[in-house]
Amino acid sequence: MSSQAAPVEFHPRWFRKRVSTWWWLGEWHYLKFILRELSSLSVAWFVILTLFQLRALLYGAEAYARFAQRLQSPLMIALNAVAFCFLLFHTITWFNLAPRAMPVRVGGKRVPEFLVAAPNYALWLIVSVFVGWLLLRRP
């Protein structure tokens, strides 16, 4: 069923403005939303990069050295820096949205939003510290 209502008597001509393809450029809130949507590309980028890293590992030390060499090019460093910023943006906005989708109730009362978001951040911190320790400890 179409929800489009037809113009009625005494309203001879309605003016309906077409939404521009660039609707998201004019307003910061909209632009932020589109940037957030685009940030999923940087998530995909790191997944692909990890797959290539595994592939290099599979082909031996020489291949891995070549892969590491490629990562050191200024272009790759710039690309990864931008992708990392987007990844942070993606993660932070995702955690901040979590309490909106999951209203946690304890004893009939709604738990404040920051208390729902906080465990996400805590877990993120713990995992990051653990991974950092794993990478930086002496073999």
Closer residue to another protein (CB): 16 or 138: 16
Q: Which residues of the shown chain bind another protein in the complex (CB under 8 A)?
A: 1-5, 7-8, 11-17, 19, 23-24, 26-27, 29-30, 33, 37, 97, 100-103, 108-110
Q: CB-wise, 28 or 133, nearer to another protein? A: 28
Torsion on CA atoms 115, 117, 123, 129, rounded to nearest 10: -100
Q: Which is closer to another protein, CB of 49 or CB of 98?
A: 98
Q: Could you tell me the smallest distance in angstroms from the CB atom of residue 132 to another protein?
A: 32
Residue with Cβ nearer another protein (4 or 72): 4
**Cβ of residue 53: shortest distance to another protein, in angstroms?**
32
- Smallest gap, in angstroms, from Cβ of residue 48 to another protein? 24
User: By the 8 A CB rule, do 57 and 64 touch?
Assistant: yes
Strand 109-110 relative to strand 105-106: parallel, antiparallel, unpaired?
A: antiparallel
E strands in 73-125: 105-106, 109-110
Q: Could you tell me the CA-to-CA distances from 14 to 5, 23, 109, 110, 113 in Å, in that order?
A: 11, 21, 47, 44, 43
